[in-house]
Amino acid sequence: MGHTIIGTAGHIDHGKTLLVKALTGTDTDRAPEEKARGITIELGFAFLGEEATIIDVPGHERFVKTMVAGVSTIDVALLVIAADDGVMPQSREHLDVLELLGVERGIVVLNKADLVDEDWLDLVEEEVRELVAGTFLEGADIARVSALAGDGVEALKSQIEALVVQTEERRGVGPFRLPVDRAFVVKGFGLVGTGTVIAGRLEGREDVEVLPAGERLRVRGLQRHGQEVEAVQAGDRAAVNLPGVSTEQVERGDWLAAPDYFKPTYMVDARLRLLFSCPRELVQRTRVRLHIGTREAMARVVLLEGEALEPGGEMLVQLHMETPVVAVWGDRFVIRRYSPALTIGGGRVLEPHPRKHRRGDRQAVAYLEELDGTDAEAAVEVKLRYLGETLKADRELAGELGLDLERITSLLEQLAEDGKVALIRVDQALCAVHTETEAVLGKRVEAALEQFHAENPLKTGLRREELRALSLRHAAPALFDHLLQTLERQGRLGVDGAMMYLAGHRIQFSAAEEEQRDKIEMALKQAELADMPGVDELARLAGVGQREVESILRALQTLGAVVPLEGGLWLHAETLAAVQDKLRGYLAAEGQITVAAFRDLIQGNRKYALALLTYFDSSGVTQRQGDVRVLLT
Ligand code: GDP
Ligand code: MG
């Protein structure tokens, strides 16, 4: 059995706070202003036995946002309705909020039974049954109570206990996170942030990250249920002591979370349900109040499947926030009309870090539909399938889906084993590319090469970065490398030094180019080293421009027929081989050679002698020692 969080709900003055006092002995309206005005402004907390905490929320319509923050994490709802007043606006609105946030269990409390007679109570109960029909409270217990006189309170306690016993230990999966519902400074102690742990576990000595600020903070102590503890975990009401931190650094709406998993976001994709009670249809880009966790943020609703959403309808949407929030797949939220504030709908986050979608983006809709119809573990494959040129680290997946890092790792390994993804290591992180994506992207690389070869028949291929720019400009470098390796392994891509080409690609000369090539090759082969033709001379001989000569020379270089020297000089490979033989012979006999001696040896000029020696130095044949060269190999 896990710790149970119980939340009150209901219209102002219907007796929520007095009921909490009758149940627990604790008056949650402690603040002077609350005492003076006789209303609840802040969230109040009281313990019910060892196993449960009651969060008392304000009922005034101005404080519905506080109410949403209070009940965003509850297990059991107590919907309080005063028998003399009956169902009132915030009875409805609070019920809507509970329903939208996915609360599943609760009790309706008909309070102030002392003020009315039995017949009246029967009538109000009838009204309540209509109110809750079709909601999670349909068929729930309806307790007749007087919080003031104490009638029915003991019976209600037993009914609550019956629900508390049903609270299952939360599995606690995922990195630790706690949406802060109160933050205050205790003199000489530092800041204390309280909230319900949504997921994971925090040990007393670990750091936490405050979000969306992203600051890392040291934890000094933890309390659970008012007691010092070593660790807190999912489902616990926790107080986290953060020494040296001010109330500007941590406030209601922030998260305290395991570091480096969650990133703030200005956009989320979600499924949105509009309440039947929403006064009118929701149109594109309507500005609303978004309540998520304990945070309120202004947002615009981009409808992805139409131009308007009718009351009672559902649609996939993208929310554009004005201030950053943090969210995880599956997180519930509520939206309220901007002015006058009224709860109009809510839903579930599907993608906390989406791309910006255009209206009617079919692919985005297909993606979100798949994410919506699955669980967090199966969502891993869905996410990977739609990633495109991006790589996502295991840690990011863990944060976005609310799953433990180890779980993500083993899911990725399993997917790899099943042939659904290929794993890619990037530094410490494990990433994966879906095989469907791999195939699509691989084809794009091939298509880029094919086009390049068609346009440049004399070139071997492309350098890695050139190819990336032409095919997958936005691809993560590690993903691009992986794709090249895969294509090479599959025999679809050839690599020659820094050059990539399509397997089977050969340099192709046109008939005219063949003629020019032969002239160029012949001229280089026959010339004396003292009178070697330059590119300009070759152009004249072949009857084409220098650029054409350059590309033919490059092609010949690739084919091994010619060799470039520094300074834009070209030699035929056979000439070079002959020179090298001569040089080796000389050095074998003499041990060393000067530039002048080398020039005489080859009967060339100083320009070619220098360029050749530089070439032999850099290709490891010779080594320069002062004014002379010696044989290196
Ligand atoms: P909340 O706004 O829902 O928290 O309501 P409170 O608990 O502050 O109660 C509002 C007023 O109703 C207070 O004056 C309470 O004393 C009174 N009240 C609450 N419960 C009962 C009840 O069962 N019977 C009667 N007669 N008065 C009640
Ligand atoms: Mg109250």
Q: Is the pLDDT of residue 63 over 80?
A: no
Paired sense of beta strands 201-203 and 190-196, if any: unpaired
* Of 223, 240, 257, the domain-final residue: 257
pLDDT in tens, 250-269: 999 999 999 999 999 999 99
User: Residue 281 domain-assigned?
Assistant: yes
Q: CATH no. for residue 579?
A: 1.10.10.10
- Say whether both 504 and 517 belong to one domain: no
The answer on 489 and 378 residing in a single domain is yes
Which residues, 6+ apart, have CB-to-CB distance to 455 below 8 Å? none
The ligand whose atoms approach the alpha carbon of 113 most closely is: 1
Number of domains making up the chain: 5
8 Å CB contact between 192 and 184 = yes
Band (pLDDT 50/70/90 cuts) for residue 67 is confident
Q: Which residues pair with 499 in a beta bridge?
A: 463, 496
β-sheet bridge partners, residue 464:
none
From atom 20 of ligand 1, which residue's Cα is the shortest distance away? 15
- CA dist 332 and 3 (Å) reads 21
- Whether residue 116 sits in one domain with residue 45: yes
Q: Answer yes or no: are the C-beta atoms of 166 and 76 closer than 8 Å.
A: no
Kindly state if the Cβ of 148 falls inside 6 Å of ligand 1: yes
Over residues 30-35, the mean pLDDT reads: 79
CB of 28 within 6 A of ligand 1: the answer is no
Q: Say if residue 171's pLDDT is above 70.
A: no
d(CA 181, CA 253): 7
Across 86-109, average pLDDT: 94
Name the residue range of residue 242's domain.
177-257
25: CA distance to ligand 2 center in Å? 14
Per-residue confidence (pLDDT) for residue 275, from 0 to 100: 94
Q: Which of 88, 124, 148 to mutate to test the pocket of ligand 1 (most atoms within 8 A of CB)?
A: 148
Backbone angles phi, psi at 549, to 5 degrees: -60, -45
Query: Which residue's CA is minimally distant from atom 26 of ligand 1?
Result: 112
Whether 418 and 532 share a structural domain: no
Per-residue HEC secondary structure of 142-159 comes to: EEECCCCCCCCHHHHHHH
Ligand 2 centroid from CA 239, angstroms: 22
Indicate if ligand 1 lies below 6 Å from the C-beta of 15: yes
pTM of the model: 0.81
Share the mean pLDDT of the chain.
93
pLDDT digits (tens, 9 = 90+) for 453-500: 999 888 889 999 999 999 999 999 999 999 999 999 999 999 888 889
253 and 340 in a single domain? The answer is no
Check whether residue 555 and residue 528 sit in a common domain: yes
| pLDDT at residue 35, as a whole number | 78
Alpha-carbon span 600 to 372, nearest angstrom:
81
Within a domain: 169? no
302 band by pLDDT with thresholds 50, 70 and 90: very high
Q: Is the per-residue pLDDT at 347 higher than 60? A: yes
- Of the residues 11, 12, 13, 61, which should be mutated to test ligand 1's pocket, given the most ligand atoms within 8 Å of the CB? 13
| Pairing relationship of beta strands 76-82 and 4-9 according to DSSP bridges | parallel
Query: Using one digit for the tens of pLDDT, what is the confidence trace for 506-564?
Result: 888 999 999 999 999 999 999 999 999 999 999 999 999 999 999 999 999 988 999 99
Evaluate if residue 249 carries a pLDDT over 70: yes
Q: Are residues 403 and 461 in the same domain?
A: yes
Q: Is residue 171 part of a domain?
A: no
Percent of the chain whose pLDDT exceeds 70: 99
**Are residues 542 and 556 located together in one domain of the fold?**
yes
- Residue 600 C-alpha to ligand 1 middle, in angstroms? 114
Whether 572 and 561 have beta carbons less than 8 Å apart is answered as yes
Q: Which amino acid is at 587?
A: L
Give the position, in ligand 1's atom list, of the atom nearest the Cα of 113.
Answer: 23
Per-residue confidence (pLDDT) for residue 2, from 0 to 100: 66
Report d(CA 35, CA 47) in Å as an integer: 20
Question: Each residue of 617-629: pLDDT tens digit?
Answer: 999 999 999 999 9
In the chain, the N- to C-terminal Cα span, in Å, equals 79
